[in-house]
Amino acid sequence: MRLKVIACKVLYRELYYLSWNSKNIIDIQLMEQQLHCTPEKLRVCVQAQIDATEAEDTKYDAIILGYCLCSNGVVGLHSDHTPLVIARGHDCITLLLGSKKRYRDIFDNGRGGIYWYSPGWIEHSLQPGKERYEAVYADYVKRFGEENADYLMEMEQSWMREYSQAVYVDWPQLHHESYWKYTQECADFLHWECHMVEGNDSLMRGLLEGPWEDSGQYLVVPPGYTIQPTYDSAVMKASPL
């Protein structure tokens, strides 16, 4: 098959590795990580890329979305004549761990409060830790003065109290010791527990290989249909436009 992948940049190492090993012909379009912060903007930008892909001379057997539900950022995405394929999951950590079940098991065993780290997230965003704290604080001092910066940092850090663990997802075939050490340093700074879990490429590999209809792990969205949430274990469904 010839496939077009539209994916978040945080997955680029894993996607290029799997594409190199794939039997399919795969073109990859990476989207900025910052789109996760504004789901509405993510939807607009990814839809624009889907539309641009369908306007190309190259015809694809499917457009693969390298996202999961992502705070409903993919809700409403649709195509005119090329099937969309997306993994059933709430966020991209599911793709890195290999299944919704494994995500849930690790989350439950850790009693919640997990902040996830991975090579792509470390490379493309400032993760909670000393580096982020110092960068945000310096920006606040520059814009609002030191006294106001201290108050704003207290507010900025308040959401982190919901977390108690830093968990690094490591694919053995793409191991980066420096990123694991970075995660440990972040956890030490925040006084969190720190763990490494082994990632699994099966869900992402299946996304790039197919077939998808035979598995409950993926949603195939036919042309003229759109992605909608289900609020149950299926996560999402295809609904007529």
95: in domain? no
Residue closest to 128 by CA, chosen among 115, 143, 144, 145: 115
Averaged over 144-156, what is the pLDDT? 88
* Same domain (yes/no): 70, 125: no
> What pLDDT shows up at residue 107?
86
pLDDT tens per residue, range 168-224: 999 999 999 999 999 999 999 999 999 999 999 999 999 999 889 766 899 999 999
The whole-angstrom distance between residue 46's C-alpha and the CA centroid of its chain comes to 14
Averaged over 84-90, what is the pLDDT? 95
> Alpha carbon of 9 to those of 13, 32, 75, 181: distances in Å?
9, 6, 19, 22
> What pLDDT shows up at residue 229?
96
218: in domain? yes
* Same domain (yes/no): 194, 207: no
194: in domain? yes
Name the 3-class secondary structure at 218: strand
* Same domain (yes/no): 31, 109: no
Is pLDDT at 110 greater than 80 in this prediction? no
* Same domain (yes/no): 82, 20: yes
Which one of 183, 198, 213 terminates a domain?
198
Averaged over 94-121, what is the pLDDT? 91
236: in domain? yes
Domain residue limits at 81: 2-90+201-240
Averaged over 34-50, what is the pLDDT? 93
Is pLDDT at 80 greater than 90 in this prediction? yes
Buried b vs exposed e over 87-126: b needs ≥16 C-beta within 10 Å?
bbbbbbbbbbbbbbebbeebbeeeeeebbbbbbbbbebee
> What pLDDT shows up at residue 6?
98
Residue 126 CA neighbour count, 13 Å, CB half: 9
Averaged over 15-19, what is the pLDDT? 96
Compute the distance between CA of residue 16 and CA of residue 2 in angstroms, rounded to an integer. 15
Taking all residues of the chain, what is their mean pLDDT, rounded to a whole number? 93
* Same domain (yes/no): 193, 206: no
Compute the distance between CA of residue 160 and CA of residue 212 in angstroms, rounded to an integer. 37
Name the 3-class secondary structure at 239: strand
Is pLDDT at 85 greater than 80 in this prediction? yes
Compute the distance between CA of residue 159 and CA of residue 190 in angstroms, rounded to an integer. 12
The whole-angstrom distance between residue 174's C-alpha and the CA centroid of its chain comes to 17
* Same domain (yes/no): 111, 182: yes
Is pLDDT at 111 greater than 80 in this prediction? no
Compute the distance between CA of residue 125 and CA of residue 25 in angstroms, rounded to an integer. 30
Is pLDDT at 4 greater than 80 in this prediction? yes
* Same domain (yes/no): 26, 108: no
Residues with Cβ within 8 Å of residue 226, at least 6 apart in sequence = 75, 76, 77, 78, 238, 239, 240, 241
* Same domain (yes/no): 148, 168: yes
> What pLDDT shows up at residue 214?
62
180: in domain? yes
* Same domain (yes/no): 9, 72: yes
122: in domain? yes
* Same domain (yes/no): 81, 167: no
Residue closest to 180 by CA, chosen among 122, 102, 109, 112: 122
pLDDT tens per residue, range 221-241: 999 999 999 999 899 999 999
Averaged over 23-44, what is the pLDDT? 93
Global pTM exceeds 0.75:
yes
How many domains, in total, are found in the chain?
A: 2
Which one of 182, 198, 214 terminates a domain?
198
Averaged over 132-153, what is the pLDDT? 91
* Same domain (yes/no): 175, 131: yes
Q: Name the residue type at position 186.
A: C
81: in domain? yes
* Same domain (yes/no): 159, 222: no
